[in-house]
């Protein structure tokens, strides 16, 4: 039995190590909630992770030095505050060899920008950079965004509850 104790200790350590690592490294949504005005590498994230939480804008390129990628990132940086208000998370993938879940799902060829709605559907896909203005217009036309705008414009009664719409 004494010989098995080190084995049990090793098994417990191996079992707990991934849990400790997961607690130390915040996940992508947690990082985005803390800093919504940044761009994040897609890594092993999946589109389902963002459903009804955020609107991913995924920027694909064959490398970070791609001129279209650099232009797209500049366009996004110009309007990042407007995009943050619209719950946009900017995801970047500049490594075609990585073949993460999002790249496998969207199958880009070279440079591409993909806007995903909160409902998980592809709203826009373009093989050239979007200006910030184009993206904001596209987002504001999405059904869930329209609902958010209507909800924000609902009058609030004194008790704090939303008033029923009048006809």
CATH assignment at residue 117: 3.40.30.10
Distance CA 78, CA 71 (A): 11
Domain count across the chain = 1
Residue 23 placed within a domain: no
With 0.85 as the threshold, say if the pTM is over it.
no
- Is 163 part of a structural domain of the chain? no
- Domain assignment present for 32: yes
Residue 122 lies in a domain: yes
The secondary structure of residue 162, as a DSSP letter, is B
**Digit-coded pLDDT (tens) for 69-114:** 999 999 999 999 999 999 999 999 999 998 899 999 999 999 999 9
Residue 89: inside a domain: yes
Domain that holds residue 44: 28-150
Asked if residue 85 belongs to a domain, the reply is: yes
Task: Give pLDDT tens digits for 18-74.
Answer: 333 333 345 899 999 999 999 999 988 999 999 999 999 999 999 999 999 999 999
The pair phi, psi for residue 53, each rounded to 5°, is: -120, -45
């Amino acid at each position: 039995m004494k010989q098995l104790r080190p084995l049990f200790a090793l098994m417990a350590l191996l079992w707990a190590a991934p849990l400790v690592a997961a607690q130390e490294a915040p996940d992508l949504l947690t990082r985005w909630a803390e800093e919504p005005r940044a761009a994040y590498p897609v890594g092993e994230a999946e589109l389902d992770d963002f459903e009804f939480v955020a609107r991913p804008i995924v920027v694909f390129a064959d490398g970070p030095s791609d001129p279209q990628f650099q232009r797209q990132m500049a366009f996004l940086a110009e309007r990042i505050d407007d995009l943050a208000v619209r719950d946009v998370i900017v995801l970047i993938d500049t490594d075609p060899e990585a073949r993460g879940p999002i790249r496998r799902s969207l199958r880009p060829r070279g440079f591409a920008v993909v806007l995903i709605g909160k409902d998980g559907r592809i709203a826009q896909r373009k093989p050239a950079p979007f200006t910030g203005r184009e993206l904001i217009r596209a987002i504001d036309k999405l059904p869930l965004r329209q609902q958010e705008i209507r909800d924000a414009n609902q009058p609030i009664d004194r008790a704090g509850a939303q008033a029923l719409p009048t006809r």
